Amino acid sequence: MFSREVMIDNEVGLHARPATFFIQKANEFKCAIWVEKDDRRINAKSLLGVLSLGITKGSRINLIADGVDEEEAVNALVELISSNFSESE
């Protein structure tokens, strides 16, 4: 199991379009991936799950993965988030 905490810094948070990019990236990996915010943990490969967390700018989330490519998966998702989902503000 591998995990990292990351802060969401883009203006709209993890909503709509950024959430779609996030789950598309998560689905590239074989391992199980979860997003944890406060006391809730959801499947990172579920758009409705990700949207249900209400992740806004400034939120801290924990990305957790378990499986053969767990470290690569978490690092790729952190990189996507750090790039503000490759969108200019």
Catalytic residues: 15
Structure tokens at 40: 């809730």
Instruction: Specify the DSSP element, H or E, that contains 11.
Output: none
First and final C-alpha spacing in the chain: 34
Q: Report whether 43 contacts 49 (CB < 8 A).
A: yes
